Amino acid sequence: MKVPALLKNKYVCYAVMALAVVNVLGYVSERSYECLALFVASAYSIKCYSKNDTVGLLGGLFVANFLFGCGRVYEGFKEGKDDEEDKEEDEEEGEDENMPGEIAKQIKEMTGMMKK
pLDDT (0 to 100) of residue 58 = 93
Average pLDDT per block of 10 residues along the chain, 116 residues long:
79 94 90 89 92 92 85 65 58 55 74 64
pLDDT at residue number 110? 73
Task: Look at residue 62 in the predicted model and tell me its pLDDT.
Answer: 92
Other C-beta atoms closer than 10 Å to the C-beta of 48 total 9
What pLDDT is stored for residue 25 in this prediction? 92
Q: Report d(CA 50, CA 13) in Å as an integer.
A: 14
Looking at the whole model, is its pTM more than 0.75?
A: no
Which pLDDT does position 88 carry in this prediction? 59
Looking at residue 55, its pLDDT comes to 92
How much is the pLDDT for 66?
A: 86
**CA-CA-CA-CA dihedral for 57, 59, 60, 62, to nearest 10:** 120
Q: Are 55 and 46 in contact (CB under 8 A)?
A: yes
How many CB atoms within 10 Å of residue 52?
A: 18
Query: What is the reported pLDDT for 15?
Result: 95
